[in-house]
Structure 1
Amino acid sequence: MPSAPAATVDLVPVVTTSNPHFLRGHLWLPLVATLAASTLLMSSGGDQWLADQFYRLEGHHWALQNAWVTSHLVHKAGKWASTAAALVVIVLCTHAWRSERAAAWRWPLLYLVLAVALGTGLVSALKSVTNMDCPWDLARYGGAREYIGLFASRPHDMARGICFPAGHSSAGYAWISLYFFALMVRPAWRWRGLVVGLVAGGVFGLAQQLRGAHFLSHDLWTLATCWLVSLLLYLAVQPLLKRSRVLHNALPQGELA
């Protein structure tokens, strides 16, 4: 977590997001990759093929559904760890907005708080409206329901599904916002921030797939949702961050004490 003095942050230039290369690499290429991967997983049977392998390896039942590692360590403790990290960022953000010496951290930290909250919040909202089942609910994997695609008509007498996108992995993938946070304060660290979010979300997502709670495409769209939220919020914060740094650097040094 950041500990450098405010002056260090002030030396970092605001990234020029109007450059077409920035949007191509951060919006259009990820979007195309997501749609291509989604086609393979959801329309070409990739989801079911991978779930079949997990199901077979676990003895044709979800043996890891209630296992200590997947259910308690990764699912429950992982969620608490993500929540604790968010609370730490909130405390740091509150301090930055109360202290002139930490003023340069205000918008970056506020961005991080909002990106994590909005990423996980949007995934949760989507789960309530997309109406898709978890693998463990399907007859193919010992459940009672037939698979209904995302855009297929669902029988009126079938209970609602609340498994798409994947909620738990959003507690990890929301931290890909660290990539954009690093762009604001120390661009050389941006890949480390991205790795943190990808590894956390990947571990959470894999554990849930091993439990039979999600298909891979569920986690793919969670990642895409968190990335899009992080990117759009980053673009929105840029002018505010630039104006804040101009004002901050214009103040006499004595007023920053």
Structure 2
Amino acid sequence: MTTLPSHVPTVAHSASGLEAHFFVRHLWLPVACVLLASALLMGVGGDQWIADVLYRMEGGHWLLKDHWFTSGVIHRVGKWLSTAAGVGVLVLAIVAWCRPRLKVLRWPLTYLAASVALSTSLVSMLKSWTAMDCPWDLSRYGGTQAMIGLFESRHGIAASGCFPAGHASAGYAWVALYFCALALRPAWRFAGLFIGLAAGLIFGVAQQLRGAHFLSHDLWSLAVCWVSALALYCVMLQRPRRVLGLMLLTGNAA
């Protein structure tokens, strides 16, 4: 019968405390911020206030809806670039699994490819369920539809499926770089986070300027991408490392 070293309970307790702190910072605090921001944007009318300002700035119509830069470059080319980057990461992951010297990159790259795919897929699925309109569909902004809230019945009215924001998710999905760096080189984690936030912000703002989304649509895309990335990190990267650490402490590792 194997006896645990006397220091193991203390280490385990310390690890439990660190894990709780990790989830406060990476899950509960972000969720609280999203809910508070959502109350301001969707409950108090912040979404409409921002859209009103943009609509007036563009002359009372969505001037940038079909503009070559917002529609052609940021929307179309941006989507291609995000897809190409995802495919590139998947290829690198396959290469890492085939080459022993790249062993350390196997799970982080596999995680990154899986997280990007999961995040964008979840946003697409939610869009089909929520069935909310885009600003350009609403009579307030030159469309034909009345404003219907997220939890209000549509009574058979056709919808555009604009919530959460699909294009922004192609950028925000890359917040998974934060967790990828956390596993590989923690000092790089904020650089990874910046890349994901910057890409999502660029895609999201461009779509808002086109009248395709409200700010809350982008906010919830970010929330879905972040929680998806966190969940996969816990399953694919954090948990195996924790189990290995416990095995090393108890002397059961080979």
TM-score (norm 1): 0.87
Counterpart for residue 209 of structure 1: 208
Checking the alignment, whether the CA contact within 8 Å between 1:169 and 1:219 is kept in structure 2 is yes
- Give the superposition deviation at 1:244: 7.7
Residue number in structure 1 paired with 2:3: none
User: How far apart, CA to CA, are the structure 2 residues paired with 1:131 and 1:74?
Assistant: 24
More RCO (CA 8 Å, sep 6+): 1
Matched letter for residue 177 of structure 1:
A
Q: CA RMSD in A?
A: 1.8
Equivalent position amino acid for 2:233 in 1? Y
Identical residues among aligned pairs (%): 58
Aligned to 1:229: 228
Q: Deviations over 1:107-133 (max 9, x none)?
A: 111100000000000000000000100
1:140 is matched by which residue type in structure 2? R
Match of 1:91 in 2: 91
Partner of 1:172: 171
Give, in whole Å, the separation in 1 of the partners of 2:86 and 2:127. 22
Structure 2: which amino acid aligns with 1:220?
A: L
1:139 paired residue number: 139
Residue 104 of structure 1 deviates from its aligned partner by 1.1
Q: What is the CA distance between 1:153 and its match in structure 2? A: 1.3
Q: Which residue of 2 aligns with 1:112?
A: 112
Aligned amino acid, residue 135 of structure 1: P
Matched, 1:126 2:126: yes
Deviation at 1:242, TM superposition (A): 5.6
Q: CA–CA distance in 1 between the matches of 2:110 and 2:173?
A: 14
CA contact (8 A) 1:107 1:241 kept: no
Residues 197/33 of structure 1: CA separation in 2 closer, same or farther (3 Å cut): same
Paired residue for 1:11? none
Amino acid at match of 2:58: E
How far off its partner does 1:160 sit? 2.3
Q: Could you tell me how far 1:239 is from its partner in structure 2?
A: 2.6
| 1:31 has 2:3 as partner | no
Aligned to 2:180: 181
Look up the match of 1:77: 77
**Structure 2 partner of 1:255:** none
Between Structure 1 and Structure 2, how many residues are aligned? Answer: 233
Amino acid at match of 1:60: G
Shift of 1:106: 0.7
Q: In the aligned structure 2, how far is the partner of 1:99 from the partner of 1:154?
A: 54
Name the aligned partner's letter for residue 200 of structure 1.
Answer: A
Q: CA deviation at 1:100?
A: 1.1
- Which residue identity does 1:81 align to in structure 2? L
SS at match of 1:152: coil
Conservation of the 8 A alpha-carbon contact between 1:172 and 1:202: yes
Q: CA 1:116 to 1:37, structure 2 compared with 1: closer, same or farther past 3 Å?
A: same
Equivalent in the alignment of 2:101: 101
What amino acid is the match of 1:196? I
Structure 2 counterpart of 1:218, which letter? H
DSSP 3-state at the match of 1:151: coil
Residue 10 of structure 1: aligned partner: none
Q: Which runs of 5+ in 1 are unaligned?
A: 1-15, 252-257
| Unaligned ranges ≥5, structure 2 | 1-14
The alignment partner of 2:147 has SS state of: coil
Distance 1:162 1:174, change over 3 A: same
